[in-house]
């Protein structure tokens, strides 16, 4: 028995309003949606990933710094010093005076300087493993000696002057062909204890006895300029080291370097 047309229409409208499937209402199923091509999608995903990786790699190449190339024939320079040669207080090692003067001349720098070190002050090793042995082992063409500031904190000690000569004797024997430049010990305040001049004289006399070059006046290079000091009040800041580099450059020009 066939239902009346008005009942069929009513049933269809109710099915549609409640979201019933068309098959439940006696209608034919709609044509199926095409299935996605998963192989093609996976291929595209891999292409995108590879493209992104390539872009990132190129960006990395563009920003990465080229490794520094060391000239095997460059002049080798070593530094035997304390915190003022190590560069304590500078924002980066490249700002310290030793690195500035070395870079400007194309020198290869070896700088094992130590905070607080003196000829005897803050020193526990004498002989193998101490700084003189390290700079001797480096076999530099030029050696800078910038020691003595911290020995003011061990003064008066009858060991300072003999140890200056012991270190210089070892360096003279270990580096007979090196050009040795001794710098007047640095100083960090406008006030100067009597020991400052006494130790300066000991260092200068020991250098002169060996025929080494001596740079005078370095204890005054940052005198009267508190703005050149780092926040600790003990060491130069970048501006202070720039001034030290400027003054050192002027002295080195006098020496033909």
Which CATH number does the domain 76-254 belong to among 3.30.70.100, 3.30.479.10, 1.10.10.10, 3.40.50.1110? 3.40.50.1110
| pLDDT 10s digits, 39-90 | 454 544 454 433 444 433 444 433 343 334 568 889 999 999 999 999 999 9
**Nearest to residue 103, comparing CAs of 87, 115, 83?**
87
- Residue 111, preceding peptide bond in cis (omega within 30° of 0): no
Sign of the C-alpha dihedral, residues 193, 198, 199, 200? positive
Which 3 state secondary structure label does DSSP give 254? helix
| pLDDT 10s digits, 89-116 | 999 999 999 999 999 999 999 999 999 9
Please, what is the Cα angle at 130 between 124 and 131, to 5 degrees? 125
Give the helix/strand (H/E) hosting 118.
none
For the chain, residues classed under CATH 3.40.50.1110 are: 76-254
| pLDDT 10s digits, 167-222 | 999 999 999 999 999 999 999 999 999 999 999 999 999 999 999 999 999 999 99
pTM for the complete prediction?
0.74
Q: Judge contact between 179 and 163, C-beta under 8 A.
A: no
What is the Cα–Cα distance from 175 to 30, expressed in whole angstroms? 96
Q: Are strands 76-81 and 179-183 parallel, antiparallel or unpaired?
A: unpaired
């Amino acid at each position: 028995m066939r239902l009346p047309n008005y009942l069929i229409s009513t049933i269809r409208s109710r099915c549609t309003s409640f979201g019933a499937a068309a098959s439940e209402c006696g209608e034919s199923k709609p044509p199926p949606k095409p299935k996605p091509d998963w192989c093609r999608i996976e291929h595209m995903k891999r292409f995108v990933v590879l493209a992104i990786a390539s872009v990132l790699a190129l960006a990395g190449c563009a920003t990465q710094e080229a490794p520094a190339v060391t000239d095997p024939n460059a002049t080798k320079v070593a530094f035997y010093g304390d915190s003022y040669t190590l560069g304590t207080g500078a924002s980066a090692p490249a700002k310290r005076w030793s690195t500035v003067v070395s870079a400007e001349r194309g020198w290869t720098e070896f700088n094992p300087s130590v905070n607080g070190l003196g000829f005897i002050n803050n020193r526990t090793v004498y002989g193998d493993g101490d700084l003189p042995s390290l700079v001797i082992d480096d076999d530099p063409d030029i050696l800078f000696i910038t020691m003595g500031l911290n020995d003011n904190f061990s003064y008066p000690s009858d060991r300072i002057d003999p140890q200056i000569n012991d270190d210089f004797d070892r360096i003279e024997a270990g580096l007979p062909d090196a050009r040795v430049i001794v710098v007047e010990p640095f100083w960090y305040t406008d006030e100067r204890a009597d020991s400052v001049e006494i130790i300066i004289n000991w260092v200068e006399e020991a250098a002169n006895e060996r025929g080494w070059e001596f740079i005078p006046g370095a204890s005054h290079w940052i005198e009267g300029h508190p703005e050149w000091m780092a926040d600790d009040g003990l060491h130069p800041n970048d501006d202070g080291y720039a001034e030290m580099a400027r003054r050192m450059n002027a002295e080195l020009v006098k020496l033909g370097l």
